[in-house]
C-alpha cells in the first residue's frame, strides 16, 4: 500500500507486506506467470544469450556516446516539428510540463503509462494548478483510484487481486460490478473513452527514442497510448535521457528483448513510432508535440565504471519477476518509484548524497537472479555490493556492524587468532546447545532462530582432524591415474599460455 | 601436481565431514590433497556487507595459502565465487591483483574439478534413495556450475533424482542478509523448505553448506526428517557402500 511509505525502513515496510497474505499471494501469482512466460518465450526464440549480448552492446555503445545521440535525436525531432526541452531536475521537468498545460488552458490530461512521470510526481503537480490527470493504462487507472503508487514497473497493480479491483471500480461506477475481468475492463474502457475525447493534452512516456529519425517509440498492450497520442490536440512526451537508441535497426533487437522479458509476449500488441506532430496529410495526431528529456540524477552515472550500466536498463521488469525478495514483499516495501532489484540500485544511485540512502541495498540475498533475468545483462547483484561499500566508505555504515567487521578482518587475517576464537566459541556453545543444536533467540540469532535451528560447532574441526586423515590416507594412496595427470598438466599449461582467463 | 583444499569456514568448523568426504573420494584417484593451514575465510561476509578492507585482510590469507598450488578446490560454489571477486577487491594493488587473477584461474568448485579437470562423472556410487537437488545461486549463476553435479548424480546407481519445484530460487541465506533482513529471509527459506517437502525426497543434496545449513535449519525447526547432505558426502557414502 502507498501507506507503507510512512514506515521508516525497508525492514519495517517489508514486515507490513509479509503480514499481508493477499498481497503476497497476488504478487506471487503474477510474477510466476510472467517469469514462466519469459522462460518459454526466450527458449522458443532461441540463442537468448546472444540476443542479450547484442542488446547489451547496443546499450553500452549508446550510453558511451549519449551526448552525440541525444543531440542527433533532438535535432531530428525538432526538424519533424516537435518542441524538445531538456530538464536537469525533476522540478524543472515539472515546471516545463505545467507551463505547457497553463498555456493550453488545459483542464484534463490523459496519460499513458510512464514511470518517469511517477518519478516526478507529475499528477500531483498538475493537480495543484487545477489540471486533472487521468491514467488510461488499466493498471495505472486502478492504482490512481486507490490513491496509491505503482508497485511494479510494468504491472502497477500487481499487488491487488480482482476482488479488490472490483471493489475499487464498483465505488467509481456507483454500482456493484462483478469481479469478472471482462466486466471490469469493459467498465474502464467505456469510462475512459469519454476522457480521451475530452482531454486537452495527451501525455506519454517513451520506451525508446530513435536518434536517426527523432521518433519516440511506445510499447503497449491496451491501445490506450494510441488514443493518448492521436486524439488530444497537444502531446507531451516525457523521457529519461537514457531512453535513446541509435536506429530502427537497433529497435529490432529491443523489440525482440523487451516484450519477451517483460510479459513473455513475442510482440507487444501495439508498437507506435511517432515522429513529430500531425502533418497535413495525416488523418490524426496532435497539432503540437513536446518532448521533455529528463536527467534527474541519470548523468551522475556517466563515467562511473561501477554504475554506468544502470543507464542500459530498458524497464522491462524481468528482474522484479525473478527476484525472490520482491516476490515476498512486493514493490511498495522498496519505498521509491522504482522497486525490485533495479529500484534497489537505481533509487540510491539517482541521489547524490549517500547519507540519504536507506537500507534498500541490504534487501537482497545477492542471489543474482536479477542479472540472469536482465535482457541487457546489468550486473545488479554486483552493484548492490558496490552501494553497500560506498555507504561504508563514506562513513555512513552501521557503527556496530563496522566494529564487528573490523574484528572480523583482524581475526580472519590470522589463522592462529581464528583458532583461538573458535575455541572460545566451542566453550560458549556448551552453555546454549541442546542435542547438537541451538535454538537461542537473542542478539544476532533473534530473527534467524524464529525460523531455524542452528547446528553447533563440530567437536573437532577439519583442520584439527587433518593430521589424522592425512596419516590414514598416506598408507593406501594409489598412483595418480596417468590420463588424469595428463589432463591436469594440459590445463595447467594452457593457463600459463593464456596469461589468465577464467574457466567455467 | 599440487592440488590444495580450500576448506571454507562452514566445512571447517561445523561440517568437517564434508571436507573429509572430498579428501577421501579424491584419494581414490590418487589425488593427494594438500591443506595449507594459514587459510581462514574467503572474506565474503565483509565483502558483501561493504567492508572491503576487512575482506582484503581475510582474503590475503587465501592468497598466501594457495600461492604455490596448481589447483585449488573447495566444497562451495559461493566461496569459490568469492575468489572470482578478488581481482576487483584488489584492483588498486597491482601486486595482489596479479596474485588474485592467478588464484581465480586455478580455483575450482568440487564438482567442477571432478568433471572438468579429472573427467570423472561416475564415481562408482550406489545410493538407493529418493533425492532432490538445490542448485545454489552463486555456484550455478555466477560460476556457471549447472551440468557438473547433474552429470555426477546421473551415474549414481539406485538413486532416484526427483525435481525440486522452483529449484533455482534462492533459499534466502545470503550471509548477513539472513540476520539483517530476518523476516524476508525467513519467508524465503520457509518457501524453499515447502518445495523440498513437495518433492517428497528423502534426501536434499547441494553444493554449498551455507545454503544447506539454512534449509536444514528450517526443516529441522519444523520437525521434518529430510536428510540434508553435500554432494561430496553422498558420492563418498555411495562409493564406499558398494
What string of pLDDT tens digits covers the 242 residues of chain B?
A: 899 999 999 999 999 999 999 999 999 999 999 999 999 999 999 999 999 999 999 999 999 999 999 999 999 999 999 999 999 999 999 999 999 999 999 999 999 999 999 999 999 999 999 999 999 999 999 999 999 999 999 999 999 999 999 999 999 999 999 999 999 999 999 999 999 999 999 999 999 999 999 999 999 999 999 999 999 999 999 999 75
Residue in A359, A450, A458 closest to B13 by CB: A458
Residue A466 covered by a domain: yes
Q: What Å distances lie between residue A444 and A425, A456, B45, B177, B199, CA to CA?
A: 15, 16, 14, 11, 32
**CA–CA separation, B184 and A24 (whole Å):** 12
> What local confidence, expressed as pLDDT, does residue A4 receive?
45
Q: Are residues A267 and A153 in the same domain?
A: yes
The C-alpha cell that represents A225 in the structure block? 497510448
Q: Are residues A426 and A470 in the same domain?
A: no
Q: With an 8 Å Cβ cutoff, are A369 and B38 in contact?
A: no
Q: Lowest mean pLDDT: which of A160-164, A287-291, A313-317?
A: A160-164
> What local confidence, expressed as pLDDT, does residue A428 receive?
85
Coil, strand or helix at B128: coil
Give chain A positions within 8 Å (CB) of B188.
Answer: 324-325, 328, 365
Residue in A363, A450, A463 closest to B12 by CB: A463
Q: In chain B, where does the domain assigned CATH 3.40.50 lie?
A: 130-241
Q: Are residues A467 and A446 in the same domain?
A: no
Residue A167 covered by a domain: yes
Quick count: other Cβ atoms within 10 Å of Cβ A67?
A: 11
Q: With an 8 Å Cβ cutoff, are B142 and A369 in contact?
A: no
Q: Are residues A274 and A297 in the same domain?
A: yes
Shortest distance, CA A183 to any CA of chain B (angstroms): 34
Pick from A305, A394, A405, A470 the residue to mutate for testing the B interface (most B CBs within 10 Å): A405
Q: With an 8 Å Cβ cutoff, are A461 and B144 in contact?
A: no
Give chain B positions within 8 Å (CB) of A14.
Answer: 181, 183-184
Provide DSSP, A230-281: HSSSEEEEEEETT-EES-HHHHHHHHHHHHHHHHS-SS-SEEEEE-SS--TT
Residue A329 covered by a domain: no
Q: Are residues A278 and A162 in the same domain?
A: yes
> What local confidence, expressed as pLDDT, does residue A1 receive?
40
Residue A386 covered by a domain: no
Contact B122, B151 (CB under 8 A): no
Angle at CA B149, nearest 5°, toward B146 and B154?
Answer: 120
Look at residue A264 and tell me whether its pLDDT is greater than 90: yes
Shortest distance, CA B23 to any CA of chain A (angstroms): 8
Residue in B12, B48, B169 closest to A385 by CB: B48
User: Chain B residue closest to A370 (CA)?
Assistant: B141
Q: With an 8 Å Cβ cutoff, are B112 and A405 in contact?
A: no
> What local confidence, expressed as pLDDT, does residue A73 receive?
98
User: Chain A residue closest to B209 (CA)?
Assistant: A455
Residue in B20, B137, B221 closest to A451 by CB: B221
The cell 579428501 sits on which residue? B23
> What local confidence, expressed as pLDDT, does residue A442 receive?
78
Strand A108-111 versus strand A83-87 pairing type: unpaired
Look at residue A476 and tell me whether its pLDDT is greater than 80: no
Q: What is the pLDDT of residues A43-71, one digit of tens each?
A: 999 999 999 999 999 999 999 999 999 99
Residue A73 covered by a domain: yes
Look at residue A2 and tell me whether its pLDDT is greater than 60: no
Q: Are residues A413 and A296 in the same domain?
A: no
A157: domain range?
A: 10-301
**Helix-strand-coil split of chain B, %, nearest 5:** 55, 10, 35
What class does CATH assign to B130-241?
Answer: alpha beta
Of A301, A142, A272, A278, nearest to A208 by C-alpha is A272
Q: With an 8 Å Cβ cutoff, are A388 and B48 in contact?
A: yes
> What local confidence, expressed as pLDDT, does residue A422 receive?
87
Residue A424 covered by a domain: yes
Strand A454-455 versus strand A132-135 pairing type: unpaired
**CA–CA separation, A151 and A339 (whole Å):** 7
Q: Are residues A408 and A282 in the same domain?
A: no
Q: What is the pLDDT of residues A193-227, one digit of tens each?
A: 999 999 999 999 999 999 999 999 999 999 999 99
> What local confidence, expressed as pLDDT, does residue A63 receive?
98
| Edge-first strand listing for the sheet containing B130-133 | B160-162, B130-133, B203-206, B227-230
User: Chain A residue closest to B177 (CA)?
Assistant: A365
Q: What's the predicted TM-score (pTM) here?
A: 0.95
Q: Are residues A405 and A476 in the same domain?
A: no
User: Is the confidence metric ipTM above 0.90 for this complex?
Assistant: yes
Quick one: three-class SS letters along A392-441? HHCCCCCHHHHHHHHHHHHHHCCHHHHHHHHHHHHHHHCCCCECCEECCC
Q: Lowest mean pLDDT: which of A3-7, A24-28, A330-334, B74-78?
A: A3-7
A173: burial class by Cβ within 10 Å (0-12, 13-18, 19+)?
Answer: middle
Residue in A401, A469, A503 closest to B23 by CB: A469
Last residue of a domain, one of A277, A301, A325: A301
Contact B34, B40 (CB under 8 A): no
Residue A209 covered by a domain: yes
Residue A187 covered by a domain: yes
Last residue of a domain, one of A301, A316, A348: A301
Q: Name every residue whose Cβ is closer than 8 Å to that of residue A322 and which is 6 or more positions away in sequence.
A: A35, A369, A370, A372, A373
Q: What is the pLDDT of residues A372-417, one digit of tens each?
A: 999 999 999 999 999 999 999 988 888 888 999 999 999 999 999 9
Coil, strand or helix at B1: coil
Query: Number of structural domains, chain A?
Result: 3
CATH code of residue A116? 3.40.50.10420
Q: Are residues A419 and A484 in the same domain?
A: no
- Which helix (DSSP H) or strand (DSSP E) does residue B36 occupy? none
**CA–CA separation, B43 and B71 (whole Å):** 20
**CA–CA separation, A239 and A218 (whole Å):** 11
Check residue A503 and report its DSSP letter.
-
Q: Are residues A26 and A70 in the same domain?
A: yes
Q: Are residues A476 and A449 in the same domain?
A: no
Last residue of a domain, one of A301, A316, A343: A301
Q: Are residues A162 and A287 in the same domain?
A: yes
Q: What is the pLDDT of residues A423-471, one digit of tens each?
A: 888 888 888 888 888 888 777 788 899 999 999 999 999 999 999 999 9
Please, how many CA atoms are within 13 Å of residue A32, restricted to the half-sphere of its CB? 11
Amino acid at each position: 500500500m502507498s501507506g507503507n511509505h510512512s514506515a521508516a525502513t525497508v525492514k519495517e515496510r517489508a514486515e507490513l507486506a509479509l503480514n499481508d497474505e493477499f498481497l503476497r499471494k497476488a504478487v506471487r501469482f503474477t510474477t510466476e506467470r510472467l517469469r514462466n512466460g519469459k522462460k518459454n518465450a526466450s527458449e522458443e526464440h532461441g540463442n537468448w544469450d546472444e540476443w542479450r549480448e547484442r542488446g547489451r552492446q547496443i546499450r553500452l555503445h549508446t550510453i558511451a556516446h549519449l551526448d552525440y545521440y541525444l543531440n542527433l535525436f533532438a535535432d531530428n525531432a525538432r526538424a519533424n516539428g516537435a518542441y524538445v526541452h531538456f530538464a536537469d531536475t525533476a522540478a524543472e521537468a515539472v515546471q516545463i510540463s505545467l507551463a505547457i498545460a497553463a498555456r493550453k488552458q488545459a483542464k484534463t490530461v490523459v496519460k499513458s503509462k510512464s514511470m518517469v512521470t511517477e518519478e516526478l510526481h507529475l499528477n500531483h503537480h498538475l493537480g495543484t494548478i487545477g489540471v486533472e490527470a487521468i491514467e488510461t493504462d488499466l493498471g495505472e487507472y486502478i492504482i490512481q483510484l486507490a490513491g496509491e503508487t505503482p508497485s511494479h514497473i510494468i504491472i502497477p497493480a500487481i499487488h491487488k487481486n480482482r476482488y479488490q479491483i472490483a471493489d475499487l471500480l464498483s465505488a467509481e461506477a456507483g454500482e456493484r460490478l462483478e469481479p469478472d475481468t471482462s466486466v471490469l475492463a469493459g467498465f474502464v474502457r467505456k469510462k475512459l473513452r469519454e476522457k480521451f475525447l475530452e482531454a486537452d493534452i495527451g501525455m506519454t512516456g517513451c520506451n525508446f527514442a530513435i536518434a536517426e529519425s527523432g521518433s519516440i517509440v511506445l510499447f503497449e498492450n491496451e491501445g490506450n497510448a494510441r488514443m493518448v497520442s492521436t486524439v488530444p490536440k497537444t502531446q507531451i512526451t516525457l523521457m529519461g535521457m537514457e531512453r535513446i537508441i541509435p536506429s530502427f535497426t537497433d529497435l529490432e533487437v529491443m523489440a525482440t528483448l523487451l516484450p519477451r522479458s517483460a510479459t513473455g509476449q513475442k510482440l507487444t500488441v501495439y508498437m507506435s513510432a511517432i515522429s513529430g506532430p500531425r502533418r497535413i496529410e495525416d488523418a490524426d495526431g496532435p497539432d503540437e508535440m513536446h518532448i521533455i528529456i529528463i536527467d534527474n540524477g541519470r548523468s551522475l552515472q556517466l563515467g562511473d565504471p561501477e554504475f554506468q550500466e544502470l543507464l542500459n536498463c530498458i524497464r522491462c521488469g524481468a528482474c522484479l519477476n525473478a527476484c525472490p525478495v520482491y516476490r515476498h514483499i512486493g514493490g511498495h516495501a522498496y519505498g521509491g518509484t522504482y522497486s525490485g532489484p533495479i529500484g534497489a540500485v537505481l533509487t540510491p544511485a539517482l541521489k547524490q548524497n549517500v547519507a540519504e540512502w536507506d537500507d534498500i541495498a541490504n534487501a537482497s540475498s545477492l542471489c543474482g537472479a536479477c542479472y540472469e533475468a536482465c535482457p541487457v545483462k546489468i550486473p545488479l547483484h554486483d552493484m548492490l555490493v558496490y552501494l553497500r561499500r560506498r555507504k561504508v566508505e563514506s562513513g555512513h555504515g552501521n557503527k556496530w556492524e563496522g566494529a564487528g567487521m573490523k574484528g572480523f578482518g583482524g581475526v580472519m587475517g590470522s589463522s592462529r587468532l581464528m583458532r583461538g576464537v573458535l575455541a572460545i566459541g566451542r566453550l560458549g556453545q556448551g552453555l546454549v546447545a541442546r542435542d547438537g543444536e541451538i535454538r537461542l533467540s537473542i542478539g544476532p540469532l533473534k530473527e534467524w532462530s524464529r525460523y531455524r535451528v542452528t547446528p553447533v560447532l563440530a567437536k573437532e574441526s577439519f583442520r584439527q582432524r587433518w593430521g589424522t586423515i592425512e596419516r590414514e590416507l598416506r598408507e593406501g594412496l594409489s598412483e595418480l591415474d596417468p590420463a588424469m595427470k595428463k589432463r591436469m598438466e594440459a590445463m595447467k599449461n594452457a593457463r600459463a599460455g593464456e596469461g589468465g582467463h577464467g574457466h567455467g | 601436481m599440487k592440488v590444495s583444499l580450500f576448506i571454507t569456514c562452514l566445512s571447517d568448523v561445523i561440517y568437517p565431514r564434508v571436507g573429509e568426504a572430498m579428501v577421501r573420494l579424491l584419494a581414490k584417484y590418487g589425488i593427494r590433497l594438500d591443506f595449507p593451514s594459514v587459510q581462514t575465510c574467503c572474506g565474503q561476509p565483509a565483502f558483501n556487507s561493504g567492508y572491503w578492507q576487512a575482506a582484503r585482510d581475510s582474503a590475503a590469507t587465501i592468497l598466501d595459502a594457495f600461492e604455490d598450488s596448481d589447483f585449488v578446490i573447495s566444497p562451495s560454489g559461493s566461496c569459490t565465487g568469492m575468489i572470482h571477486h578478488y581481482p576487483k577487491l584488489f584492483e588498486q594493488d597491482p601486486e595482489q591483483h596479479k596474485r588474485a587473477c592467478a588464484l581465480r584461474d586455478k580455483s575450482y568448485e568440487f564438482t567442477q574439478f571432478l568433471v572438468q579437470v579429472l573427467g570423472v562423472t561416475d564415481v562408482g556410487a550406489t545410493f538407493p534413495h529418493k533425492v532432490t537437488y538445490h542448485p545454489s545461486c552463486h555456484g550455478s549463476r555466477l560460476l556457471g556450475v549447472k551440468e557438473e553435479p547433474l552429470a555426477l548424480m546421473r551415474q549414481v546407481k539406485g538413486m532416484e533424482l526427483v525435481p525440486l519445484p522452483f529449484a533455482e530460487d534462492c533459499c534466502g541465506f545470503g550471509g548477513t542478509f539472513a540476520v539483517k533482513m530476518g523476516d524476508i529471509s525467513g519467508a524465503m527459506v520457509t518457501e524453499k523448505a515447502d518445495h523440498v517437502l513437495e518433492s517428497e525426497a528423502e534426501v536434499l543434496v547441494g553444493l554449498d553448506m551455507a545454503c544447506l545449513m539454512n534449509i536444514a535449519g528450517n526443516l529441522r525447526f519444523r520437525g521434518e526428517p529430510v536428510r540434508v547432505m553435500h554432494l561430496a558426502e553422498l558420492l563418498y557414502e555411495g562409493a564406499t557402500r558398494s
